[in-house]
């Protein structure tokens, strides 16, 4: 029998999680939520372009005489500071999310493992009428959808 994880949560622990999530939601309200179209259209600062951006901002800051007032250098510098402050927290959030998703996967796998073994027991020992309808209802999980015929190409 598989048992990847065994975990239960007290009502107090769940309340603590809910309170922590509510705190995060409150702190994240100033963050943006982009639409898929916006995400596609925006410039992306990747691993190669980040050093370029940092160096360019540094050179512009050191040479203010060439910077027009409408360039937005101060805002870009503030954005860079916010990015640097956010990244370590984002990493922690990603690690927590990965751990939570792994736990969700392990719990589901443990449940499915027992359910499959139990279903096997029902198939073998559940031949009486009392279990027949339950076994038939459970067998729907394994029913295959009828295959669609491949279209015949026109000649």
pLDDT tens, residue by residue, 7-44:
999 999 999 999 999 999 999 999 999 999 999 999 99
Measure CA 34 to chain center.
16
Residue whose token pair is 């101060």: 74
**SS3 assignment, position 153:** coil
Q: How is residue 143 written in tokens?
A: 């029913």
Identify whether the C-beta of residue 7 lies closer than 8 Å to the C-beta of residue 103. Answer: yes
Which ranges of 44-72 does DSSP label H, i.e. alpha helix? 49-62
Q: How is residue 6 written in tokens?
A: 């065994």
Task: Please say whether the dihedral angle defined by the alpha carbons of residues 78, 84, 90 and 92, taken in this order, is positive or negative.
Answer: negative
| Calpha distance 142→29 (Å, rounded) | 44
Element (DSSP H or E) covering residue 11: helix 11-27
Task: Say how many Å lie between the first and final Cα of the chain, rounded.
Answer: 56
Q: What is the pLDDT of residues 92-150, one digit of tens each?
A: 999 999 999 999 999 999 999 999 998 888 877 766 666 777 777 787 777 777 777 67
| Calpha distance 112→2 (Å, rounded) | 10
Give pLDDT, residue 127: 67
155: DSSP letter: -
Give pLDDT, residue 113: 94
Measure CA 149 to chain center.
37
């Amino acid at each position: 029998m598989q048992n990847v994880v065994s975990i239960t949560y007290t009502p107090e622990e769940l309340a603590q999680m809910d309170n922590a999530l509510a705190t995060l939601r409150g702190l994240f309200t100033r963050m943006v939520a982009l639409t898929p179209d916006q995400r596609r259209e925006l410039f992306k600062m990747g691993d190669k372009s980040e050093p370029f951006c940092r160096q360019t901002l540094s050179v512009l800051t050191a040479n203010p005489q060439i910077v027009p007032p409408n360039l937005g250098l101060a805002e870009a510098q503030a954005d860079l500071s916010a990015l640097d402050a956010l990244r370590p927290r984002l990493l922690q959030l990603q690690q927590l999310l990965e751990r939570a998703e792994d736990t969700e996967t392990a719990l589901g796998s443990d449940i499915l493992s027992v359910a499959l073994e139990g279903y096997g027991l029902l198939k073998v020992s559940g031949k009486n009428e009392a279990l027949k309808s339950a076994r038939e209802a459970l067998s729907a999980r394994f029913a295959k959808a009828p295959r669609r015929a491949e279209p015949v190409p026109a000649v």
